[in-house]
Amino acid sequence: MRRRGRYDRLSRFRMRKDSLAFALSGIVFGLLVGWIIGTQQVPAPVQPEPQAAAAAAPPASSLPPLDEARVRALEEQAAAEPGNVQVRLELADLYFDAERYVQAGPWYEAALALEPDNADANAAVALVYYAQGDPDRGLAHIDRALAADPRHATALLNQGIIRAFGKQDLQGAAQSWEQVVAAAPGTVQAQQAERGLAALREAHQAAGGATGGAQP
């Protein structure tokens, strides 16, 4: 109970990351229909091209604002308190929310160096590596998060995102999102998972109609 309370102050950051996770991948939902039409089956996982990941990154001018003053204050606190996990998580979240994934990753890793089984940090850094074009490393962190907490809703949500958009594993993504809905009904994570499941259903329906009802 004590550790759960220790991170309650960061809940607003986590909720924003859950929404941002789907914002990062939302544009890809529109591509699912064409992909399913073209394959009519779930293919073997495909490694994303680093060039494609770089091309998908937004230009610096379009990034959300970063609270530089807060960052400086937290960095000073982190330097003064080398064992403080919470301050490192908050720094990582600030960078993540501002879509500075290159800066967010090291702070999540710094938190994990102090507390390797921290499910929140593992679930969050998984999306950082996915956004940087390394879905396998992201999924490895998801595994660590779920080893610590098998019902961690954000880890399951992010697992589905990485499976769908990093590995093209739509069946696996659906399984992850169904687990979110079962584990955390009524939460922000469950709402996002339901959105993902609905998008998969719509994509398959559209693909079936476009191909004369062929079965995947």
- pLDDT tens by residue, 151-192: 999 999 999 999 998 998 999 999 999 999 999 999 999 999
CATH number of the domain residue 171 falls in:
1.25.40.10
Flag whether 21 is in a domain. Answer: yes
Flag whether 184 is in a domain. Answer: yes
Determine the Cα–Cα distance for residues 90 and 9; give it in Å rounded to an integer: 9
- pLDDT tens by residue, 138-160: 999 999 999 999 999 999 999 99
Run of H or E including 3: helix 2-6
Chain mean position to CA 185: 19
Flag whether 165 is in a domain. Answer: yes
Flag whether 151 is in a domain. Answer: yes
Determine the Cα–Cα distance for residues 74 and 6; give it in Å rounded to an integer: 17
Please check the confidence at residue 194 and state whether its pLDDT lies above 90: yes
Flag whether 64 is in a domain. Answer: no
Flag whether 192 is in a domain. Answer: yes
Print the domain residue range for 86: 10-39+70-210
Determine the Cα–Cα distance for residues 206 and 165; give it in Å rounded to an integer: 19
Flag whether 16 is in a domain. Answer: yes
Flag whether 60 is in a domain. Answer: no
Overall number of domains in the chain: 1
- pLDDT tens by residue, 47-98: 444 444 443 444 555 778 899 999 999 999 999 999 999 999 999 999 998 8
Please check the confidence at residue 12 and state whether its pLDDT lies above 80: no
Q: Which of 35, 46, 83 is nearest to 203 (CA)?
A: 35
Determine the Cα–Cα distance for residues 187 and 185; give it in Å rounded to an integer: 6
pTM above 0.85?
A: no
